[in-house]
Every structure is written in C-alpha cells, then in structure tokens.
Amino acid sequence: MDVIQVQGPARLAGEVAVVGAKNSALKLMAAALLATGESVITNIPRITDIALMGEVLRRLGCEVSFTERSKTLADVRINVPETLNPEADYDLVRRLRASICVLGPLLARCGRVRVAHPGGDAIGSRGLDMHVAGLARMGAEISGEHGFVIAEAPSGLKGAAIWLDFPSVGATENLLMAAVLAKGETEIDNAAREPEIVDICTMLSSMGADIEGAGSSKLVVRGVAALSPTTHATIGDRIVAGTWAFGAAMTQGDVTVTGIDPAYLEIALDKIVQAGGMVETRPDSFRVRMDNRPRAVDVVTLPFPGFATDLLPMAIGLAAVADGVSLVTENIFDGRFMFVQEMIRLGADIKTDGHHAVVRGRERLSSAEVRATDIRAGAGLVIAGLLTDGTTVVRHAHHIDRGYPDFVSDLRGLGVVADRVEAPADPEYII
C-alpha cells in the first residue's frame, strides 16, 4: 500500500480546481439503469470508487466506457440493455457502499433484485432499514439470505406515502429512483436535501421523470411508464472544496477553489469566518484567506444544510491548531471519531466522550506516522501534517484515492512538498 508524505510546516496558497462530486456521480451512474440506451455523465472524478461502480454496472449487463478529460476528470458512457442482470456481486458491493443505490433502479426495472449488504468506510453503522421499509410501503417483498438483500415486486411498484425517520441521503436516493417508474404518486417526507439529491432529481427529470420538491424535505414523484437516456453534468464536489477551504484556514494560507457553487458550503465557510478567516465568493468559486492563527469555534454536524459530517476531520484539524478550546459534535455516524487517535499521534489535544470531542488548540503539531481510517480522515490527516515540524507519513493512502483525484498533485500545486511512495510493511499500531 502506498503512503503520502508531506513536509511541514507548510502554507497552502494558490488556486485549485474541483471536479464532479463523488457522492453525486456514483448515484447518477446508478440512475442510468432506469433507461434503456446510452446515457452520458460528464465531469466525473477519476477516483477508485468510480471505477468500482463502472464494474458493478458492467456485471449488471451494461457497457461502460470512460473518456479521460484530464488527470482528474472524465466522462462516462453507460449503455443499458433492455434486460438487466438483477444481482449485484458481493465482491464488489462489499468494497463500495454506494453500490447499494442500484437497489431501487433494479427493482423498478426488473421487478426483482438481489444485492449484497454494502461495505465502504468504517465510520459507524449505516443500516438499510429505511431503504427496506420504504420499498415495502411501495409493495416490495423484502427478505435476506447469505448476506444479500432480496427484493421482489412481480406486479410492479406502487406509489405510496413514505416518512423517513431520518433524512438519509441513501434511502432518499433509492426510494426516489424506485418511485420514478412506480404506478401512481409517491410522497417522500423528511427527505434528504443535499445538493447531490437535487443533482439526481435534475438528471431524472431530464430523462422524463415527474418530480416536485427537489431541495426540500418533501419529494413528490409521479411515476411514468418509461424513461429515456440523457446527458448530464455532475455538480462540483463540495467536500473536496471544503477540504481545501479548511486547509487554507488551518495553514494560515490563501486558496481559491474553482468549479464549485459556494452555496453548497455556506455553513462551513461561515465557520471559517468565525475563526478569523476572510471568504470571498463568486457563482462558481470562492477564496479563503487566513492571516493569523485561527480562533476556536464550535462545530455540530447535521444533515444539509447543516455542517457536513464528511468535513468533521477538517473541523477537528482546524480546532487542533486554533487559539482556544473547541467542542465538536458528531450527529450522523457513530464511528466518525475513529481517526482521532491518529490526530493525537500528531500531537493534537483531543478528548472524546460519546459523540462529542473537546479540542484544545496548539500552535504547532508534531510530525509522525499515522494511518488513514477512511477517505475524509485520510485527507484531514495529510492537511494536519502541514502544521507539524517535519515529515508526516500517512499510510493507507488508498482510502484517499476513493474521494480525491490526484491529491498529491493538488497539494504540490498549492506549494506543499508532498510525495506518494510505496509503503513498507504496515507496522503494528498499539492504541
């Protein structure tokens, strides 16, 4: 496994471009299953997870081809056959949690689906209860065996009123994609409001779906007999953009991020302003500058439009070098704090209690060898390494590859001495 090495202390300065959102592109690829023929999705990030989703679709019977536009960007063509294989293989699904989003489209198209329980990042329990309950309300019969979820609706799905106990992004996406081909009207209350949900609604509408309420907590979907293939551009990745925003604030840097609507990051950018940073926004870019040591600010993660849980590692990184004491509260995933022990290896003063973390800021962290536990934690540890007094080594860099295309090149473009090298055998970690 490769490692990423960064030399501290370093200040991020310059311009960096953000490409399509991973959390949107994966679901858009699944949405293509709903229409026979060739759909084209542009502004796709060149990351590991996209390649895995491409293989998932191939095994379902699709022809999938990628056209590279740059080192970080590609387009994907998905040719969907009239008859699909309704089973998603375990060996792929276990590596990519987002592949569970084929459940809704396959059930709508085939009337039967067998999908393995998903894997993905180890950041806490992310059950399928709301997916299953919603599909059952639409007339599906759900069962499970040998690690697979099996759903059947031989006479087709029917519109229903569905209330989500929590505004789950995954459940909203699966139920939305199932509802567009169901008979009658489906209402999804307490639906997720993330920009990625709006993006998938936009693509589905261009395919002929009848959807109202995108971006609100209530989606109304009137089922249609069939959809048509389309061409759609993925929205910019707000989490990658937020990573660079917090990186600029942490390192007292000056970074302009392009290819992103700043409205997707309103609360995150406001936290940087509260910490003493200066933020300038334009319709498709923003600039973050921090001239002095950041001030401590409290952060609470919530569903959109709240502070994104995926930016929690960066918020803790900012708190670790801020002037004062910060309280960081995680409300989405019960395992999100798994990476905190690695931050402590870098000299951060962090105490956790349940879903709270108390962080006492220090002027400087200390270099060490640490381990990425998930995509965002890995990126956060690399950025934190810029606040140290030497070379920080982040192992398990493959996690970062799943969310950040060419991360090291972007770091170098912002003035960081960074390298990616082949790792020796992984040492024992005693926590």
Residue 329 lies inside a defined structural domain of this protein:
yes
By residue count, the chain amounts to 431
Q: How far is CA 379 from the centre of its chain?
A: 13
Over residues 142-179, the pLDDT tens digits come to 887 777 888 999 889 999 999 999 999 999 999 999 99
**CA-CA distance, 289 to 134, in Å (whole number)?**
45
Confidence band for 48, pLDDT divided at 50, 70 and 90: confident
Q: How many domains does the chain have?
A: 2
Q: How far is CA 110 from the centre of its chain?
A: 28
Over residues 183-210, the pLDDT tens digits come to 999 999 999 999 999 999 999 999 999 9
254-258 vs 13-17, strand pairing mode: parallel
Q: What is the pTM of this model?
A: 0.93
Residue 213 and residue 339 in one domain: no
Q: Is 374 a catalytic residue?
A: no
Residue 261 and residue 388 in one domain: yes
Residues forming the annotated binding site? 22-23, 97, 310, 332
**At 411, which CATH number?**
3.65.10.10
**CB-CB contact of 234 with 21 (8 Å):** yes
Residue 418 lies inside a defined structural domain of this protein:
yes
Nearest-5° Cα angle at 413, 408 to 417:
60
Residue 153 and residue 263 in one domain: no
Residue 179 and residue 240 in one domain: no
pLDDT at 128: 81
pLDDT at 265: 98
Helix H or strand E encompassing 211: strand 210-212
Domain boundary, last residue among 190, 223, 256: 223
391-395 vs 369-371, strand pairing mode: parallel
pLDDT at 73: 94
Residue 63 lies inside a defined structural domain of this protein:
yes
Residue 163 and residue 269 in one domain: no
Over residues 96-133, the pLDDT tens digits come to 777 789 999 999 999 999 887 765 444 344 568 899 89
Residue 403 and residue 345 in one domain: yes
**CB-CB contact of 17 with 410 (8 Å):** no
Catalytic choice (49, 75, 121, 401): 121
- When pLDDT is averaged across residues 307-313 and rounded to a whole number, the result is 96
pLDDT at 191: 98
Domain boundary, last residue among 223, 248, 279: 223
Residues forming the annotated binding site for phosphoenolpyruvate? 22-23
**CB-CB contact of 330 with 301 (8 Å):** yes
Residue 8 and residue 47 in one domain: no
Residue 230 lies inside a defined structural domain of this protein:
no
Tokens representing residue 364 in the block: 């400087």
Confidence band for 292, pLDDT divided at 50, 70 and 90: very high
Q: Is 364 exposed, middle or buried (0-12, 13-18, 19+ CB in 10 A)?
A: exposed
Report helix, strand or coil for 321: coil
- When pLDDT is averaged across residues 218-240 and rounded to a whole number, the result is 98
> 257: domain range?
2-16+236-422
Residues forming the annotated binding site for UDP-N-acetyl-alpha-D-glucosamine? 97, 310, 332
